[in-house]
Amino acid sequence: MQSDTAEFRWSYREIRSRIRRTVFTKGVKPYLVLVLIIFIFSFVGILEFNASGIINNLDMKYGRGVVNKDDILDILDYARSTPLMQALPEFLREEIAVDIIWGTLSTYSWLINLFAMNHAYMERNLGEVFVFIMLFMVLYKGITSFFKKTLAVGLNRAVMENRFQRDVKIRRILAPFGNHKFLHVIGVMCIYVIVMSLWWLTIIGGVIKHYQYLCVPYLLAENPDLSWKQARNLSRKMTRGYKWKMFLTEMSYIYLLIPGFLVPLSDLFIVMPLDYTMDAEMYFTLRQRPDIKRTRFIETAFDGDAYVDRVKAGENPEDIHPEYLMPDLHIRNSSFDKADEYRIIDYIAMFFIFCFIGWLWEVGLHLVKDMAFVNRGVMYGPWLPIYGAGGVFIIALLNRLKHHKLKLFVSTMILCGVLEYFTSFVIEFFSNRSYWDYHDMQLNLNGRVCLAGLIAFDIGGFLGIFIVGPLIKNLMHRLGDKKAKIICSILITLFVIDIICCNIFGPNIGEGIGKEYSERVVCSETLYLSEKDGTD
């Protein structure tokens, strides 16, 4: 164990060696768990790096709808004519500023479609439309940055614990937000993001503050009770006199940018694990400084040596089990390692809640992409049975695998794939309609399932088993048996009526609700011939 008075020194060789050994020498499983954690944060948009482009291609397509190109060009011409743009040198205006504006307009094309519903207004007020879109972009980026930075504290916690043990549990990414700490952490990280954004406007000041405040997220990951002022001041003291050394440590890994740009997914499997482990290693190195008060450091397990150093010193790996003060995020009447007990009424409630969530997702997606409200799905009511059935099947059949996360991950993907493929086949066979089509997605099977969808369902399945399912169970218990049974009976009655209507009048069809199979084939042939002939 390291004492508070131990000699403090910054050794580039030791730091680099410990980073490499922590990531690559503890075994295949710890390495893959670290990669999986980074992948999850990238898949949901919290991390962004070179591989994110590929990962985003695996994700569901959303956010960009079909837009009239002339509308974008009109707004772009207006932006070029503004005094601010005219004051810029031609190179900056045409090569940088215009590209940024074009990317923003393309990304938020659904906003342009919203204004284009009244095209006369849009033609009269191009400036207002342009300003609104840019303001929306700034606000959206700001709000999402707050939440992303906040949730990234969970990633920091997992990487920190990965330094001291062989196997870090994926659930530890939620640990900093337990005991009602989430809103407090959001508040501190909001201030952090605002302060850093203002400093980056000065460029040089942003670089200095990047290193001066680098410890703030890690301090919160260790002690979520810290205020912004406490975390900021402690990070200042920890980094005082060592910012240049931190910069040189980061620069010693600059060669990793080459494979990161040239080799697909190399930064997911190599660069990012090393990068986050490096930041954590610098934090723990600075944490040893004897000239700072240690009252804010609450995890005594973090005072010890790294796992790889203890093994190197001759300790038995089986005896290294650090105990942390910070408990797992706890949901009442549930456990991360034991199967939950559910009643029939709990499963009924889950079915309708998942059906409604799926309906909201599909309707919202279509509203954003095509600026049209469409009651998506084969039925008439606000529910999509495949989401409800999938959620219930996952929880009912796989809940018993909570203690074995790898089996649960694989089983969830297989179950979701079989259910989605079979449902697509049955709907198409009996109605000659396709309600979803993944032919344009990478790694799809007959357009019925794709890897991106399976990964999204996998993440959703984990959330359902570990969080949503237990919360629904607790909700039903709070309602009481009588109220719960009345609500479920009403929902079942409405659902049965919907099924009867579908049998009498046929399934829900219309613009934006699936495609007839023959129509999809004709469209594909037409598209192929158009591309071959070079016509539109």
**Angle at 437 (CA atoms; ends 431, 439), nearest 5 degrees:** 135
Rg for the chain (alpha carbons), in Å? 27
d(CA 374, CA 364): 9
Q: Are residues 407 and 466 in the same domain?
A: yes
State the average pLDDT over residues 297-312: 94
State the average pLDDT over residues 513-517: 55
Contact 2, 305 (CB under 8 A): yes
Give me the pLDDT at residue 515, please: 59
State the average pLDDT over residues 487-499: 93
Let me know if residue 183 belongs to a domain. Answer: yes
Let me know if residue 94 belongs to a domain. Answer: yes
pTM of the predicted protein model: 0.71
| 9-28 pLDDT, tens digit each | 899 999 999 999 999 999 99
Burial of 47 (0-12, 13-18, 19+ CB in 10 A): buried
Q: Are residues 197 and 271 in the same domain?
A: yes
| 435-465 pLDDT, tens digit each | 677 877 777 788 888 887 888 888 888 888 9
Q: Are residues 396 and 312 in the same domain?
A: no
Show which of 329, 359, 394 is a domain's final residue: 329
| 218-252 pLDDT, tens digit each | 999 999 999 999 999 999 999 999 999 999 999 99
Give me the pLDDT at residue 473, please: 92
- State the virtual CA torsion across 381, 386, 391, 396 in degrees, nearest 10: 110
State the average pLDDT over residues 29-35: 91
Show which of 329, 356, 379 is a domain's final residue: 329
What letter does residue 465 receive in the DSSP assignment?
I
Residue-wise over 428-465: b if at least 16 C-beta within 10 A, else e? beebebbbbbbeebeebeebbbbbbbbbbbbebbbebb
Show which of 329, 362, 380 is a domain's final residue: 329
Let me know if residue 116 belongs to a domain. Answer: yes
Q: Are residues 325 and 422 in the same domain?
A: no
Give the 3-state secondary structure of residue 163.
coil
533 residue type, one letter: D
- Whether the pLDDT of residue 407 is over 60: the answer is yes
d(CA 513, CA 495): 19
Cβ neighbours of residue 207 closer than 8 Å, sequence gap 6 or more: none
Q: Are residues 177 and 306 in the same domain?
A: yes
Burial of 348 (0-12, 13-18, 19+ CB in 10 A): buried
d(CA 91, CA 248): 33
Q: What's the distance, Cα to Cα, between the start and end of the chain in Å? A: 71
Distances (CA, A) of 377 to 10, 13, 25, 289, 510: 60, 59, 49, 60, 10
Q: Are residues 162 and 45 in the same domain?
A: yes
**Angle at 119 (CA atoms; ends 115, 121), nearest 5 degrees:** 75
Give me the pLDDT at residue 297, please: 95
State the average pLDDT over residues 46-53: 51
d(CA 536, CA 528): 11
State the average pLDDT over residues 204-211: 94
Contact 111, 67 (CB under 8 A): no
* Residue 375 tokens, joined: 């009651």
Let me know if residue 286 belongs to a domain. Answer: yes
Q: Are residues 35 and 116 in the same domain?
A: yes
| More confident position, 54 or 330 | 330
- State the virtual CA torsion across 306, 310, 311, 313 in degrees, nearest 10: 140
Q: Are residues 11 and 143 in the same domain?
A: yes
Give me the pLDDT at residue 61, please: 39
| 165-187 pLDDT, tens digit each | 998 988 899 899 887 888 899 89
Q: Are residues 119 and 72 in the same domain?
A: yes
d(CA 470, CA 332): 8
User: How many structural domains compose the chain?
Assistant: 2
Question: Beta partners for 445?
Answer: 449
**For the chain, percent of residues with pLDDT exceeding 90:** 37
Nearest of 171, 186, 221 to residue 463 by alpha carbon: 171
Distances (CA, A) of 87 to 92, 93, 99: 10, 9, 17
| 467-492 pLDDT, tens digit each | 899 999 999 999 998 999 999 999 99
Q: Are residues 403 and 325 in the same domain?
A: no
Its domain, for residue 133, covers: 1-329
Let me know if residue 338 belongs to a domain. Answer: no
- At residue 347 the predicted structure's pLDDT band, cuts being 50, 70 and 90, is very high
Across 101-110, 281-290, 329-338, 349-358, which has the greatest mean pLDDT?
Answer: 281-290
Let me know if residue 24 belongs to a domain. Answer: yes
Q: Are residues 281 and 309 in the same domain?
A: yes
d(CA 336, CA 351): 22
State the average pLDDT over residues 53-73: 53
Give me the pLDDT at residue 330, please: 80
- At residue 289 the predicted structure's pLDDT band, cuts being 50, 70 and 90, is very high
Q: Are residues 294 and 358 in the same domain?
A: no
DSSP class per residue in 288-299: T-TTS--TT---
Let me know if residue 337 belongs to a domain. Answer: no
Let me know if residue 336 belongs to a domain. Answer: no
Residue-wise over 295-307: b if at least 16 C-beta within 10 A, else e? eeeebeebbbbbb
Mean pLDDT of the chain: 82
- At residue 425 the predicted structure's pLDDT band, cuts being 50, 70 and 90, is confident
| 77-107 pLDDT, tens digit each | 888 888 888 888 877 777 777 777 877 777 7
d(CA 50, CA 57): 12
Give the 3-state secondary structure of residue 504.
helix
DSSP class per residue in 275-289: HHHHHHHHHHHHHT-
